[in-house]
Structure 1
Amino acid sequence: MDVLITGGAGTIGTAITDHLGDGEHSFTSLDVEEHPDPDVESVVADATDEEVVREQVAGADAVVHLARVQMEVGGTSDQSVVWSEEHLENLRLHASVYNAALETGLDTFVYASSNHAVGMYEKTNMPDIYYGANVEVDHTVQPRPDSMYGVEKVYGEGLGRLAAESSDLSVYALRICAVRDPEYDHPFGDAERGVDRGSFERDSDAYDEQVARLRCMWHSRRDCAQLIERCLDDDSVSFDVFYGVSDNRNRWFDIDHAREVLGYEPEDSADEWDEPPN
């Protein structure tokens, strides 16, 4: 299967190609940056260019849509309702990629949604939710975005449902949790990154809370790649929502649905780690 990854040179795109690059799928990365793996076909272009997107989608069997424009305001820690030109660009970008998929008769569309589409379940229960609070969020819950970023992701899911239910396109909306670059691909990753940036010390409450949160939210790079592969190989879904998270004991996001529908079987769990890697 020929797979186009928009935004393929980023953290999630490289997780896909790192772990699936030698398999049965061939990948093309469409990104403003060259893909770091020379064995991955790299199209250096802006995904907001509709003509480029349509040309690349036309040559693919499936799309994994990761690309978006970075926003100056309305990020995941900002709960204000604020408009920006970058937000508008993202709405246009997502619509144009879905439209290209429909116009070219694409079979499979994997949309990188986010846990922030339902992020208020976390916000209203933190910090207890990091320590095993009785909260479960599955594919049937109402969206509760925690930011304009989350609102954008809900919009992308809505586009996917419309596209799937008005055509033969199969759309998989993945509410991805915490995928990190290889250096920080472990449950202590966010805390160690904070130390590396000088934000706090290891022996601090801030460090401990970062560890507690990531023990719930961690989605290892290989588990992320596996989940996407399960979507690419599936032929049963019209539109559905799945959570991207590893098999962490204190996670509040459901993965049974992904297990039952897609055969997702995460290989990693935060509970296997007692300390960061040396």
Structure 2
Amino acid sequence: VEAKCKRLIFASSAQTIESYPTDIQVNKNMLVKPKNIYGVSKCFGEALAAYHAYNNGISAICLRIGAYEFPKDFTEMNARDLSAFLHPDDFNQLLIGCIETNHIQYEVLNAISNNRYKRLDITEAQEKVGYLPKADAFELFRLKKE
């Protein structure tokens, strides 16, 4: 507030919703359901960003980041991790959209790639900031379709 910041982009986490069953695709309008204290801390960060957006005039975007990993550093991931995978190139494109998009007071956007199975719904990110992710973890890591 003192620095006259115009936009805050908060690195939140998919941990804010990890208590939902894995067969449910979570969208931003569903209540937070953290499974651990780290997730609770990210819920607090989202609430703090909302506070500043609505009371101090700072535009705020909270990105619920999934399983961010460089493909060259690929470690064994289960289907849950793959469904929340976020490729670095997709994340960069999302961040640019968050920086360049005007007229946002407060948003919570899911940040995962265009995976065949998506743990988080990315429709809002596509509509609000023009997010066009390209990577699909299931294809990138050569997993067979069922």
Show the counterpart of 1:217.
84
**How many angstroms apart in 2 are the aligned matches of 1:261 and 1:108?**
15
Identity of aligned residues (%): 28
Query: Residue 243 of structure 1 aligns to which amino acid in structure 2?
Result: N
Query: 1:182 Cα shift?
Result: 5.4
**How many angstroms apart in 1 are the aligned matches of 2:138 and 2:34?**
28
**How many angstroms apart in 1 are the aligned matches of 2:61 and 2:31?**
17
Equivalent in 157, 176, 190 of residue 75 of structure 2: 190
Offset from partner CA, 1:200-235 (integer Å, 9 cap, x none):
xxxxxxxxxx34223201100001111111100011
Equivalent in 18, 26, 35 of residue 119 of structure 1: 18
Structure 2: segments with no counterpart, 5+ residues: none
Matching of residues 72-83 of structure 1 within 5 Å: none
Residues 1:156 and 2:45 aligned together: yes
- Contact 1:190-1:211 within 8 A present in 2 as well: no
Length-normalised TM-score, structure 1: 0.49
Matching of residues 194-213 of structure 1 within 5 Å: 210-213=77-80
Secondary structure (helix, strand or coil) at the match of 2:34 reads coil
Q: What is the CA RMSD across the aligned residues, in angstroms?
A: 1.4
- Contact 1:110-1:231 within 8 A present in 2 as well: yes
Matching of residues 129-140 of structure 1 within 5 Å: 129=22, 133=23, 135-140=24-29
Tell me the matched-pair count: 142
**How many angstroms apart in 1 are the aligned matches of 2:113 and 2:123?**
11
Matching of residues 1-12 of structure 1 within 5 Å: none
Q: Segments of 4+ in structure 1 off by > 4 A?
A: none
Residues 1:256 and 2:129 aligned together: no
- Contact 2:70-2:87 within 8 A present in 1 as well: no
Q: Larger relative CO (CA 8 A, sep 6+): 1 or 2?
A: 2
* Structure label with greater radius of gyration: 1
- Contact 2:71-2:87 within 8 A present in 1 as well: no
Length-normalised TM-score, structure 2: 0.91
Secondary structure (helix, strand or coil) at the match of 2:64 reads strand
Show the counterpart of 1:234.
101
Query: Residue 109 of structure 1 aligns to which amino acid in structure 2?
Result: L
